[in-house]
Amino acid sequence: MDSIIVTGNGPLKGQIPIAGAKNACLTLMPATLLSEEPLTLTNAPRLSDIATMTQLLQSLGAEVTSMQDGQVLAMSSHDLDNHVADYDIVRKMRASILVLGPMLARDGHAVVSLPGGCAIGARPVDLHLKAFEAMGAELELKDGYVHAKAPGGLKGGEVVFPFVSVGATENALMAATLAKGTTVLKNAAREPEIVDLAQCLRKMGAEIEGEGTETITVQGVDRLRGATHPVVTDRIELGTYMLAPAICGGEVECLGGRIDLVGAFCEKLDAAGISVEETANGLKVGCKNGRVRAVDVTTEPFPGFPTDLQAQMMALMCTADGTSVLEEKIFENRFMHAPELIRMGADIDVHGGTATVKGVERLKGAPVMATDLRASVSLILAGLAAEGETVVNRVYHLDRGYERVEEKLGNVGARIERVSGS
Ligand code: EPZ
């Protein structure tokens, strides 16, 4: 297992290119199953999760060709010869459940392994399944698999989500495009990744209104055609790298960054004393003056503060001036970075879904363990500001969501290197 060694090295300076969004790509890729014609994605990120989704789609009989160093994915699912998404692949990545809606909508049947939980929580898929039932599907859970059938095809229906779910909204939206009649998704997720998916589906011939609001209306069509679509910028990678100069000083321009993708996050940066300036090429971030101020954060569905930036913000608050309270409202166990930050000298008190962080002058480098994707990168950020050397182990978590992190940070002056493990 590889490790990454970070040594506190003072202010950063330069430009970091922001890639296409992992969480958009992971729902855009299954959309190829909705059409027999080719779907090509550009600006795709080079990540292990994308390789896992590629493997899953190929196991179903789709063709996926990665070109231009992984930034272009040419896909075609003209001949789907397998409608079973196997546990061995699904257990590696929860987003695998997103092949269920498209297969069910296109061919009227699908068998997908339940994903199982993960480090940050149980993460059930009951909202996905209820949405398909509202569209007339018959579902049976057997031996850890969901057996879904819609013999006469899905029918338009009203889906009311009891609480916001990004994945359930994406699965239902994809299924609704081929359902007979009109489907209304209420209390739908509003994330930019949903908007990106809707825009791609519309290029394929889908009739969708309301994406980005809490009510999405879909008029089913008989078939969808192929398309070419650029993956939207990754707002979580963007927010992560915006925190790099915030945590160790300097000024970094995040190329491709868009302020509309990180509104609530930027409000918190402003309150903490971090400057964010829109430039012709992206967003330029720097420390206005001296020590960062402590701010409180509560995670919410978009357009609120993203749960996927909570760990990274906690790393910043560890050396802020004052005490900050971080409330994690989306997942039940998303503070596993806290004990690792405490090993670096942070003063953090976790009770249930609330973490209280008292800022300390400086963190000290230490060997730490990555536990999940965003926790991993929060430890890298903390290492940038810490005195001495931080060794982050199990960085396979990191490679799921961050392409070439040591290259991107190294190019702006960080002392960071990857050490290949056994
Ligand atoms: C997506 O996960 C993202 N993953 C997550 O990013 C992100 O943290 C999350 O949305 C919230 O924004 C991808 O897009 C691939 P949810 P998803 O359904 O769709 C519960 C990262 O780091 N729930 O919005 O799985 C669920 O347990 C990852 O890139 C149910 O109870 O999230 C959670 O507590 C981590 N039943 C809450 O809802 C369901 O059927 C929100 O989950 C579905 C969800």
398 lines ligand 1 (CB under 6 A): no
Residue with tokens 């079973």, as numbered in its chain = 84
Residue 145 alpha carbon to ligand 1 centre in Å: 20
**Domains, the chain, ordered by start:** 3-19+233-419 (3.65.10.10), 22-230 (3.65.10.10)
Element (H, E) at 273: none
In degrees, rounded to 5, the angle at the alpha carbon of residue 214 between the alpha carbons of residues 400 and 312 is 35
Atom 17 of ligand 1: nearest residue by CA position: 167
**DSSP string over 92-118:** T-GGGGGGHHHHHHHHSEEEEE----B
CA 269 – CA 403 distance, rounded (Å): 24
Choice among 118, 200, 266, 287 that is catalytic: 118
pLDDT single digits (tens) 362-396: 999 999 998 889 999 999 999 999 999 999 999 99
What pLDDT, on a 0 to 100 scale, did the predictor assign at position 322? 98
Pocket test for ligand 1, best of 26, 123, 163, 332 (most atoms within 8 A of CB): 123
Residue 372 alpha carbon to ligand 1 centre in Å: 14
Picking from 21, 32, 72, 36, the residue whose alpha carbon sits closest to that of residue 56 is: 32
DSSP at 260? G
pLDDT single digits (tens) 131-183: 999 999 999 999 999 999 999 999 999 999 999 999 999 999 999 999 999 99
CA 317 – CA 23 distance, rounded (Å): 26
**DSSP string over 289-333:** SSSPBP--EEB-STTSB-GGGHHHHHHHHTTSBSEEEEE--S-SS
What pLDDT, on a 0 to 100 scale, did the predictor assign at position 288? 64
Burial call 62-80: b when 16+ CB within 10 Å, e when fewer: bebebeeebbbbbbbbeeb
pLDDT single digits (tens) 31-59: 999 999 999 999 999 999 999 999 999 99
| DSSP bridge pairs for 326 | 297, 355
What pLDDT, on a 0 to 100 scale, did the predictor assign at position 120? 80
Helices (H) and strands (E) in the chain, counts: 14, 24
Has 118 been annotated as catalytic?
yes
